Amino acid sequence: MRISPNTGTYVSGAGHAAFILYLIVGGLFVARDTDFEVKVSNVSIISGEEFASMQAQSPGEGELPPAPEVPADVDQPAPAVEPETPSAPPPTPRPVEEVAPEPEPVIPEPAEAVEAPVVPEQPEAPDVDGDPGDTLIVPDAVPVPRPAERIAEEVVEQPDPEVAVGETDQAATAPAAEPTPVEEAQEETAREEATTEIVTEADEPSTSAPTKSTRPGRKPKPPARPAPQVAETPTETPSEAPSLADSIANAVAEANTSTAVADNANPGGGTSSPITRSEKGAFILGIQKCWNVGALGTDALAVSVVVGFQMEQNAKPIVGSIRMISSTGGSGVAVEKAYEAARRAIIRCGASGYNLPLDKYDQWREVEVSFNATKKEIR
Amino acid sequence: MMKMLLTCLAFVMAVSAVQAEPLRIELDSPNIEPLPFAAPAFIAESAGADQYARDLAAVVSSDLQGSGLFRAISQDAFISQITSFDSPVQYADWKAINAQALITGAVTTTGDGQIVVKFRLFDVFSEDQMGEGLQFVGSTNGWRRMAHKVADAVYSRITGEGGYFDSRVVYVSETGPKNARLKRLGIMDYDGANQQFLTDAQAIVLAPRFSPNGDRVIYTSYESGFPKIYVLDVASVGRRVLQDQPGTMSFAPRFAPNGQDVVFSLTTGSNTDIYKLNLDSGQRTQLTTSPAIETAPSYSPDGTQIVFESDRSGTQQLYVMSAGGGEATRISFGQGRYGTPVWSPRGDLIAFTKQNRGRFHIGVMRTDGSGERLLTASFLDEGPTWSPNGRVIMFTRETAGSGGSSTLYSVDISGRNLKAVQAQASDPSWSPLLK
């Protein structure tokens, strides 16, 4: 088959003709996506004089949105700063100079940041120099995990609010005088405060040794329920006649409970509602803050004594009624010294009367206090 | 009907039980603070006793406060003054300044150089006297000892354990530069007062130890060029060498509680073992036979056991054996090396020196090795010795460097109340309470 030498020309011409035809009429068969929406607004033409007069007007008075006033912007953070200085009167707008402390949370002082990480402050540190009894508010020496939004493999207590949260404990470093690319200012981070053993001079310099130490007090026990106390006696008796014994026991328990809860006549003239847990706790604190075993020998520290005494209606102990009921551990001398320390505590802190509900005198007319120093790690 | 009767009976029983039931509470978190006390100047009851009256009260206060268990209230805070030894105590005035104990005393001098010191101790808040008043008579030169005795009595009446103030310490006095240091035996009151020297500085002396009643000191001296053991009489300062066996070195001596036996280390050839020597008969008994280095023996207070250090396990550790020798039981298992064990006079603890990670510690552990507690830490702490009541430990602390020096320190067995006692001194040994 012979091919004409113009075949290519024809094919090329046909192709170009088809392409041109497509460009001309092809748009008729394709939907256009670009749908330009033309917004129309009314405008007005103003003269140069009108424009000049408009510029001379206040910005707030124009149609444009009012720009924030400069004084308003400066005063805006002031209420947030003022709570840090309670003595400052809150409503008064502060001048710019007084608002200057605002950047403090953003750029901490380098000197403070270096010292801070060594001993992170406890969120609720007890007042060491204050009333020792205050430490008893701390419920327990054993760390208890707090409710936290973050779950991790180990418990991390709430850090100092001024310390940023980090992966590990990290001391804040101050930027060097001549900044280098290696040492960048780091934010201070901290982990929880913890101790594993008694800190002696072996672990800390003597200058930082505490002058006194108090152990976090145990959470006051809930007031003993009257019913079980009375019910002990019947349950220990042989139950030869179960039905009769049970009846008595149940009746005693029921009656005892009712007498403890309900008001009844008593010689003290007060109500007989049970002493509440907080009232009992306050009483414990009242004696405990005067209980000092710092001058006892090691044998006496191993002694637990139960001391009984009577109270006057003004909540002062009757000194002549103080007596030792029982003791455990230690020799005779050690018991005597432990009792003397307990007796001193009762008298000293009771001199002005204990914090007890006077209307419940009938329930604290007689008191028995167990002084147990054996749990204290002293030796 | 029966049930109603029973209910009424039970009600009556319950009401009576409730009314008789005391309020019961339990305290288990005591405060541990020094007990505040007041010690006004003693009353001078004769001419010439004024100075003694002031000094005695000052020493008593210093003793008690130095123990760390007491805190002296400044005399400026006193509301009322003690004007007569027999005048009644104004308890309210002492309560107002929170003085929990009050010490009153009086001094009388006699024409023959004697003084009479008497004192009373009061529990201020109980408004009662603690024990009977006591009186001491002695020479005017011994007024400090009488003050110590008053302090011991006060300490004992309040703490319930014996005191330690009327005691002495023998030590090695160190003077001169470190590379040419002169060493001689010194003796002083427990608080560093009344220093005296028992030997000259011609020969190096080491490890002095008091006899059980404090009348003799046994120590090691290089007087002959080799370490040998000497026994020195404190009163006469006379001394004699123990058995001299040529070609041997003897050191680390210590008295047995009976005062007649002495344990020490003896090196023959390359082996060091522990021996016992009876001072009366001269009979010597070998107590250990291990090829290791075994030294620093110390008797238990009852004399039935001996604690010592040995490297028989490869590292320096503590072992306990019978006083007659035989099988020893290792009691130290912590990291580091343990040495210079000393049995507490109470018998319940063993003090030791521990070296670990480049630091030295003074520590205590129970006699079975449990309950180890480190009380100090420094460049070099070593050589503990117990106070007579087993409450305080004295030891040597040496500072680093060519200009470093040795100082005697004391610390309570709780790790509190660390304080320097005497500079330029080492190797202390605490005496028993003086008679």
Which ipTM value was assigned to this complex?
0.86
**Which pLDDT score is estimated for B215?**
95
Using CB atoms and an 8 Å cut-off, which of residues 414-433 of chain B contact chain A?
A: 414-416, 418
B104 pLDDT exceeds 80?
A: yes
pLDDT tens-digit readout, A34-62: 444 445 455 556 666 666 666 555 444 33
Q: Which of B429, B229, B431 is nearest to B340 (CA)?
A: B429
Using CB atoms and an 8 Å cut-off, which of residues 154-183 of chain B contact chain A?
A: 158-161
The larger pLDDT score, comparing residue A6 to residue B93, is at B93
B137 pLDDT exceeds 70?
A: yes
Using a CB–CB cutoff of 8 Å, tell me whether B411 touches chain A. Answer: yes
Q: Which of A142, A201, A327, A363 to mutate to test the interface with B (most CBs of B within 10 A)?
A: A201
**Which pLDDT score is estimated for B342?**
98
Domain boundaries, chain B: 35-159, 168-430
**Residue A2's pLDDT band (cuts 50, 70, 90):** low
A310 pLDDT exceeds 80?
A: yes
Q: Which of B32, B100, B122, B413 to mutate to test the interface with A (most CBs of A within 10 A)?
A: B32
pLDDT tens-digit readout, A239-285: 333 444 454 445 444 444 333 333 333 444 455 688 899 999 999 99
CA distance B265 to A348: 56
Using a CB–CB cutoff of 8 Å, tell me whether B92 touches chain A. Answer: no
- Give the C-alpha distances (Å, rounded to integers) separating A334 from A121, A331, A340, B352: 39, 5, 10, 27
- State chain B's mean pLDDT as an integer: 92
Q: With contacts defined as CB-CB under 8 Å, which chain B residues touch A136?
A: 29
Cβ–Cβ below 8 Å for B10 and A251: yes
Distance from CA of A105 to the nearest CA of B (A): 39
Using a CB–CB cutoff of 8 Å, tell me whether B393 touches chain A. Answer: no
Contact at 8 Å (CB) between B338 and B319?
no
**Which pLDDT score is estimated for A84?**
34
Contact at 8 Å (CB) between A187 and A166?
yes
**Out of A237-241, B92-96, B220-224, B380-384, which region has the weakest mean confidence (pLDDT)?**
A237-241
**Residue A27's pLDDT band (cuts 50, 70, 90):** low
A92 pLDDT exceeds 90?
A: no
Contact at 8 Å (CB) between B15 and B72?
no
Other CB atoms within 10 Å distance of the CB of residue B126: 18
Taking CA–CA distances from B96, the nearest residue in chain A reads A348
Contacts of residue A18, defined as CB under 8 A and 6 or more positions apart, other chains included, come to none
A163 pLDDT exceeds 80?
A: no
The larger pLDDT score, comparing residue B388 to residue A176, is at B388
Using a CB–CB cutoff of 8 Å, tell me whether B69 touches chain A. Answer: yes
Other CB atoms within 10 Å distance of the CB of residue B255: 22
The answer to whether domain B35-159 and domain B168-430 are alike in fold is no
Q: Are strands B70-72 and B284-286 parallel, antiparallel or unpaired?
A: unpaired
**Residue B52's pLDDT band (cuts 50, 70, 90):** very high
What is the assigned CATH class of domain B35-159?
alpha beta
**Which pLDDT score is estimated for A232?**
35
**Residue A69's pLDDT band (cuts 50, 70, 90):** very low
Cβ–Cβ below 8 Å for B6 and A294: no
CA distance B29 to A290: 11
Q: Which of B1, B16, B25 to mutate to test the interface with A (most CBs of A within 10 A)?
A: B25
- State chain A's mean pLDDT as an integer: 59
Q: With contacts defined as CB-CB under 8 Å, which chain A residues touch B27?
A: 284, 287-288, 291, 369-372
Which run of H or of E encompasses B206?
A: strand B205-210
Q: Which of B103, B100, B87, B92 is nearest to B40 (CA)?
A: B103
Residue found by looking up tokens 């707030």 in the block: A60
CA distance B410 to B420: 6
CA distance B318 to B309: 5
Q: Which CATH architecture has domain B168-430?
A: 6 Propeller (2.120)
**Out of A147-161, A226-240, B266-280, which region has the weakest mean confidence (pLDDT)?**
A226-240
Using a CB–CB cutoff of 8 Å, tell me whether B102 touches chain A. Answer: no
pLDDT tens-digit readout, A192-214: 444 444 467 776 654 444 445 44
**Residue B19's pLDDT band (cuts 50, 70, 90):** low
Residue B104 exposed, middle or buried by CB count within 10 Å (0-12, 13-18, 19+): buried
B269 pLDDT exceeds 90?
A: no
Q: Are strands B70-72 and B31-32 parallel, antiparallel or unpaired?
A: unpaired
CA distance B202 to A123: 63
Cβ–Cβ below 8 Å for A319 and B35: no
**Out of A29-38, A329-338, A345-354, B38-47, which region has the weakest mean confidence (pLDDT)?**
A29-38
A74 pLDDT exceeds 80?
A: no
Q: Domains, chain A, ranges and CATH?
A: 226-261 (no CATH), 277-372 (3.30.1150.10)
CA distance A363 to A356: 10
pLDDT tens-digit readout, B340-367: 999 999 999 999 999 999 999 999 999 9
A71 pLDDT exceeds 70?
A: no
A180 pLDDT exceeds 50?
A: no
pLDDT tens-digit readout, B272-305: 999 999 999 999 999 999 999 999 999 999 999 9
The larger pLDDT score, comparing residue B322 to residue A265, is at B322
Q: With contacts defined as CB-CB under 8 Å, which chain A residues touch B13?
A: 230, 252, 255
Q: Which of A221, A230, A292 sits opposite B31 (nearest CB)?
A: A292
